[in-house]
Structures are given as structure tokens and as C-alpha cells.
């Protein structure tokens, strides 16, 4: 009888342990699912506020025409890239400084954003659009295409 009671108690303890393990596993799975849902919502929010903005792209030929007509050329490359060569009379504001220096740019003038190949220009245009600038575009192919087309550049500061 004592063996039977001991066996029954052992069985009960094992069942309780299994229930606790099962309960813990359930909470872990629910926690992971909750984190995935929060991550998905955050990702969707960031996509809708940044990536769904249409960035107006223009060719280097269109950019040169706008340049000749007095559009402001905004170069968002690094200081090192700028000193190697840049478009005459362009404004230089590196992309990592742009958000804090938006006040330096006119909202009532067309702005053409350029970088080395076009990636940073896209980010610059998104920043400008989110800040309320309306006449902005980026140069497809950036300074690579500008120089390949033989358009004017100056070297140095």
C-alpha cells in the first residue's frame, strides 16, 4: 500500500511538472508571437511613413536644364567627396546634417538633390518632402552621370 501511495505521489508530481512545463512553453510561445506582431506593426508603420513616399527622379540631362534655369542644386555627399569635385554654385549639406540644417534651404525654390550615385539623394528628397518642401527631385545616377555627361564641375572647396 505504501508503495502504491508513493507511486501515486510520484505520478502526481510528474504530472504537475509536465503541466508547469507546458504552461511555461505556452507563455513563451505567446510572448514570441506578441513580439512578432509588434515588430510587424512597427515595420509596417515605418514602411508607410518612409518607403511609400514617391521620390521624383530626373535624368542628368533634366537636372542640367533645371540647373541652367536657376534651380538650387543640393549636394548631400560627404565633405571629402565634395572637395574632390562638385557642381559650381551647388549648396553642400551632407546627408547626415540635412535634417538639422533644413532651415538653410528655401521652400519656394526648386531643389535638385544630388549625391554620388543616387542612394543618398533619395533619402535627402524624402527628408525634404516630409519637412514640407514641394519642388524637389533627385538626379538618377548622381555625380557619376553628371560627370560622364561632361557637365561642369569644380575641384576643391
Q: Are 127 and 103 in contact (CB under 8 A)?
A: no
Q: Are 114 and 123 in contact (CB under 8 A)?
A: no
* Edge-to-edge strand ranges of the sheet holding 111-114: 57-58, 136-139, 111-114, 72-75, 91-92
- Among candidate residues 55, 74, 93, 115, the one labeled active-site is 115
Active-site annotation holds for 23 = no
* Look-up of cell digits 533634366: 62
Active site residues per annotation? 115
Amino acid at each position: 500500500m505504501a508503495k502504491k501511495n508513493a507511486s501515486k505521489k510520484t505520478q502526481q508530481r510528474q504530472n504537475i511538472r509536465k503541466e508547469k512545463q507546458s504552461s511555461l512553453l505556452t507563455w513563451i510561445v505567446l510572448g514570441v508571437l506578441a513580439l512578432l506582431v509588434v515588430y510587424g506593426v512597427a515595420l509596417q508603420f515605418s514602411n508607410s511613413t518612409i518607403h511609400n513616399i514617391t521620390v521624383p527622379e530626373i535624368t542628368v540631362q533634366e537636372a542640367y536644364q533645371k540647373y541652367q534655369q536657376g534651380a538650387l542644386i543640393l549636394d548631400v555627399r560627404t565633405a571629402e567627396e565634395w572637395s574632390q569635385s562638385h557642381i559650381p554654385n551647388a549648396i553642400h549639406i551632407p546627408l547626415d546634417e540635412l535634417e538639422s540644417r533644413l532651415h538653410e534651404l528655401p521652400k519656394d525654390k526648386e531643389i535638385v538633390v544630388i549625391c554620388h550615385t543616387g542612394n543618398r539623394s533619395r533619402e535627402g528628397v524624402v527628408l525634404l518632402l516630409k519637412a514640407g518642401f514641394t519642388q524637389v527631385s533627385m538626379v538618377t545616377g548622381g555625380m557619376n552621370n553628371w560627370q560622364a555627361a561632361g557637365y561642369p564641375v569644380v575641384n576643391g572647396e
